[in-house]
A = this chain, B = another copy of it.
Amino acid sequence: MRLVRPLENLIDQLVKLPTIGPKTAQRLALFLLKVPEDEAKALAEAILEVRLQVFPCSVCGYLTDLDPCYICQDAKRDKNIICVTEEASDVISIERTGYNGQYFVLNKEFHVMEGHDLDEINLDSLEDKLASGEIKEVILAFNPDVDGEIMARYLASIAEAHQVKVTRLAHGLPVGGDIEFTDELTLRRAIEGRYEFME
């Protein structure tokens, strides 16, 4: 089966995106051919614009279009607490919880099995903050897996060298979760982390 080259090319580009398989890519490409031209153009321009205008904040590493980002500039936020995440997407999730402190985003994938090295992560701006004495607590918000564990230990050793308290996100039952279907490790952590019942 031959498709015309520009259509084939668009499908090839779409299939590189996460969650998009060949069938969905074909469907999206045909959709982009069928919608009013303005709509297709708006998507193409939004992609170009995001690459031109959005970059990591020089202070915290979160995504921003002005530097420092609005979180770093916000005088009402707690300057004594900093939450370290691997990705900007983690900040988006944590912001929804109402957390009101600072962030530090590593913006660097770390997979020990792929031979990544912890030294490759640029922690200069975090170390400056820790050295300044402003930070009283570092929250390590890494995914609960092997790579997250390795990063957490590494970051913890650095924070402790500056005598700063280090905390981690709690493990336990997801809200709305079911004990029967919770894996053993999570349930063990939920028992270890049990807290006093208060009415």
Contacts and interface: CB of A to CB of B under 8 A. Distances in A.
Interface in A50-80: 50-54, 63-65, 69-70
Given A31-B17, A54-B33, A9 B41 contact: no
A132 interface: no
Interface in A1-32: 1-7, 9-10, 12-14, 16-20, 24, 26-32
Contacts of A88: 30, 33
Contacts of A89: 26-27, 30
A121 interface: no
Contacts of A127: none
22 contacts: A2-B70, A3-B92, A6-B54, A6-B65, A10-B50, A13-B46, A14-B43, A16-B43, A17-B31, A18-B28, A19-B27, A20-B28, A26-B89, A29-B50, A30-B89, A32-B47, A32-B51, A33-B63, A40-B50, A40-B51, A44-B44, A44-B48
**Considering the complex of A and B, which 6 residue pairs feature the smallest CB-CB distances, nearest first?**
A44-B47, A10-B46, A44-B44, A13-B43, A13-B46, A4-B65
